[in-house]
Chains A and B, each alone.
Chain A
């Protein structure tokens, strides 16, 4: 299935690990864009066609929860599914701030199998 992906995380390590995990999971995006924080992500969304966003929460400049809320409020972006990949362990925060807006959540550390399982459910309807 072909899709354009935006990876948002301030850690180049995490972005590299996610790219490798996608490959191991049998998911090969047509294009992968990367951003180091929510601000860069919004700039990329304005410039590129993106089918799926994978974002961390804890980032400088603009956090991931602010990014997904801004996307949800913008008619251009509200239909783009967002998967949150984070160390976040608080179900309280997830229930109030993340899950109402996100299509999925993967807790770090993650395996390629978790990535596959979460993304397949989201990507199949798109393809």
Chain B
């Protein structure tokens, strides 16, 4: 995977978190992230166009609640689980859009799926941060990972 793609993913994630949730992240190696998070929120959005793949986001439920509260200008304990997950889905949606523009410019057309929550039986925090396309960051010392899964380019 091109190093540029991962740099763009990290930069886009930092930007989106700052603009959408007023959260300042510090990039870190995925090896610095905990290998397991007991209660995590995982979301994913797929894209299809010049390239095909998906972008995922993984974070602890506590951090998810904090970010959702900042997005919605509410208190974390006022939010339902559905609201927290929906906010994370929307952050993933915006992250994917920003990453696609940074990586491919404004000419190609990509089709995005509706963002979805990923169940722990399908993909876990541990699996996600071990993937080659994962980038890590800490927000107030809480871990967050974004992961790019890019399918190989089709042969002409």
Contacts and interface: CB of A to CB of B under 8 A. Distances in A.
On whether the two chains bind one another, the answer is yes
For the side of the interface on B, what is the size category? 20 to 34
Interface in B101-141: 101, 106-110, 112-114
A13 interface: yes
Interface string B48-78: 0000000000000000000010011100000
B11 interface: no
A59 interface: yes
A92 B94 contact: no
Interface in B1-43: 16, 19-20
B98 A60 contact: no
Contacts, number: 62
For the side of the interface on A, what is the size category? 20 to 34
B142 to A, nearest CB: 20
Contact of A90 (B20, B71, B109, B114): B109
A20 interface: yes
A112 to B, nearest CB: 11
A87 interface: yes
A88 interface: yes
Contacts of A48: none
A13 B109 contact: no
A91 B106 CA distance: 5
Given A10-B114, A13-B68, A89-B101, A109 B94 contact: yes
A13 B114 contact: no
B89 A11 contact: yes
B114 A58 contact: yes
7 pairs of A and B residues whose beta carbons are closest in the complex: A87-B97, A89-B101, A91-B106, A109-B19, A109-B20, A13-B87, A90-B109
